[in-house]
Amino acid sequence: MGSHYDALLQHLNDIHNLRMAAAVLDWDRETTMPEGAAASRATQLSVLARLAHEKFVSERTAELLEKAEVELNGADYDSDEVSMVRIARRDYDEAVKLPAEFVAEMTRLTAMAHGEWAKAREAADFAAFRDTLKRIVDMKRQEAEYRGGGEHPYDALLREYEYGMTTAQVKEIFESHKPALVELIAAINEVKDRVSDAPLRQPFDIAKQREFARSVIKAYGFDFSRGMQAESIHPFCTHFSRNDVRITTRFDPNHLNPALFGMMHEAGHGLYEQGVAPELDGTILDSGTSLGVHESQSRLWENIVGRSKGFWKWALPLLRKAFPGQFDDVDLETFYRAINKVEPSFIRVEADEATYNLHIMVRFELEQALLVGDVRVEDLPEAWNAKFESYLGIVPPNDALGCLQDVHWSVGLFGYFPTYALGNLLSAQYYAQAVKECPEIPEQIEKGEFSTLLSWLNDKIHRHGRKLTADELTRRITGQSIQADDYIQYLKDKFGEVYSL
């Protein structure tokens, strides 16, 4: 390749490495850093972010991009080179839209807002966060204007996390499966006593929890020579290279789920990052393509595999061995039902597969309403509770269990929530296709063999990194755009069996 492209690549790689360094500092903050270091770490992170941003929106980037575009004119769309330039152009055009002072102001505001939100949530006191949230919503409205594009102001915010997806499309796909969810949950509610999760709520030694969960994700294919697992208050996955993927776990000494299914979930994200093509390592393409596709991988390994009966045919005997005496009386059917208990609840992150997307729809609709002014920030708790009751049939007793529960808004993440639901839909859509192409997968899972599934995901999704958009990827893999049919079918099949509907 010519010298303009090489110069662009080197320039972008420098920026990428600054961002990866920031990611290491973030990881260290969440897993290791002493509390007294908070202020100095915030400074270090803001310097790295500013230097990376300045470098990226510089004249030099524009110049190198233009030259490389001319140089590569007519070359293969899928090639690393053309993809690199295309994605860099997309990122650049987006990044230059925001004035530096606006970015700095947003950084200051959200840095402060995060602490205020945490306190307000702890006290279940919405009023303590209200004025700050107002300022954030105002700034997000301003940001949507700066970013522009699309029919709805929300489009501009959504684009940051799910490029190529519009508000109208999300609305359509949400509407297309909401009735089925509501109907399914109602049917389950009629016979809710058929399932108990008591076996999962016992005292479990934490070292043994860690060992068992690690053995599961190792079997999935998570490569511990290119990744590692640590603890943090809020579980997450991060990466600094395809060869350096970190996941974290939260342990509950009296509940098996958070660590076990949490580690499967984060490992699903991790397998995506570990599977990016080596050629893309250290470049701006070295990452998952969208949050929705990312979440499809975590949900696939957590739920479609990890909460399947086939998986536990293999895993339950191992679990019995790991916790002697604690599962002796629990047969496969009972255990399978326990891990698939459905019950409308207040907290999104603890929601089951059937109710989860309804939690998202509440937020998706409120975010749009806040943005266009249909709901005022001061009326948010009321609006939240009304919508929550209409979708899930229950009313949060306080705002900590209601509109204050999630961190996202406090750190300025508007347009992010829908990707969780899109990920659920995609997980079923991709898995259905994988089984269509490799019908042996379910049988292999019953034997604790996951390599066919992982290879398929590597080949179809992971290796491309950021080269293809979520929609390009999904159409190439399944022949159609994202749809809810596979997910609804999956839920009906599973919960029909679990609840004998």
* Residues designated catalytic: 266
CB of 20 to a copy of itself, least distance (A): 6
Q: Which of 1, 6, 7, 21 binds a copy of itself (CB under 8 A)?
A: 21
146 binds a copy of itself (CB under 8 A): no
| Residue that has been written with the tokens 């640590």 in this structure | 230
Alpha helix segments (H runs only) across 230-308 = 257-274, 291-299
When the beta carbons of 15 and 403 are compared against a copy of itself, the nearer one is: 15
Judged by CB under 8 A, the stretch of 26-34, 99-107, 312-320, 483-491 that binds a copy of itself is 26-34
The pair of three-digit structure tokens given for residue 242, joined into one six-digit string: 């395809």
Q: Check residue 207 for interaction with a copy of itself (CB under 8 A).
A: no
Residue 244 Cβ vs a copy of itself, minimum distance, rounded to whole Å? 3
Please tell me whether residue 398 binds a copy of itself under the rule CB under 8 A. Answer: no
Should residue 279 be labelled a site residue for a copy of itself when binding is judged by CB under 8 A?
no
Taking alpha carbons only, the member of 152, 410, 460, 200 closest to residue 307 is 200
For tokens 């290796």, what's the residue?
463
281 vs 365, which CB is nearer to a copy of itself?
A: 281
| Beta-carbon-side half-sphere exposure of residue 245 (alpha carbons within 13 Å) | 25
Q: Is 57 in the site for a copy of itself (CB under 8 A)?
A: no
145 touches a copy of itself (CB under 8 A): no
Provide the minimum distance between the beta carbon of 267 and a copy of itself in the complex, in angstroms, as a whole number: 14
Beta-ladder partners of 228: 246
CB of 17 to a copy of itself, least distance (A): 4
- What's the rounded Cα separation, in Å, for the pair 254 and 198? 11
Nearest alpha-carbon partner for 376 in 131, 18, 27, 12: 131
Structure tokens at 33: 């850093």
Helix (H, G, I), strand (E, B) or coil at 481: coil
Comparing CB distances to a copy of itself, the nearer of 363 and 462 is: 462
Query: Binding a copy of itself by CB under 8 A: which of 130, 134, 178, 226?
Result: 226
Q: Which stretch binds a copy of itself (CB under 8 A): 132-140, 220-228, 375-383, 428-436?
A: 220-228
Looking at beta carbons only, is 35 or 151 nearer to a copy of itself?
35
Q: At what angle do helices 291-299 and 418-437 cross, to 10 degrees?
A: 60
| Of the candidate residues 282, 381, 402, 423, the single one contacting a copy of itself (CB under 8 A) | 282
Across the beta sheet with 237-241, what order do the strands follow? 227-231, 244-249, 237-241
Q: Which of 127, 230, 386, 407 binds a copy of itself (CB under 8 A)?
A: 230
Site residues for a copy of itself, 309-328, by CB under 8 A, read: none
Residue of 66, 64, 69, 75 whose CA lies nearest to 12: 64
Instruction: Establish if 218 lies at the interface with a copy of itself (CB under 8 A).
Output: no
Terminal Cα distance for the chain, rounded: 60
Structure-token pair, residue 192? 């809710």
Mark residue 223 as left, alpha or beta (left: phi above 0; alpha: psi -120 to 50; beta: remaining). beta
According to the binding rule CB under 8 A, does residue 107 interact with a copy of itself? Answer: no
Distances (CA, A) of 447 to 86, 278, 286: 43, 30, 32
> Least CB distance from residue 34 to a copy of itself, whole Å?
5
* Interface contacts to a copy of itself, rule CB under 8 A: 13-14, 17-18, 20-22, 24-25, 27-28, 32-37, 39-41, 43-44, 47-48, 51, 223-228, 230, 240-241, 243-244, 281-282
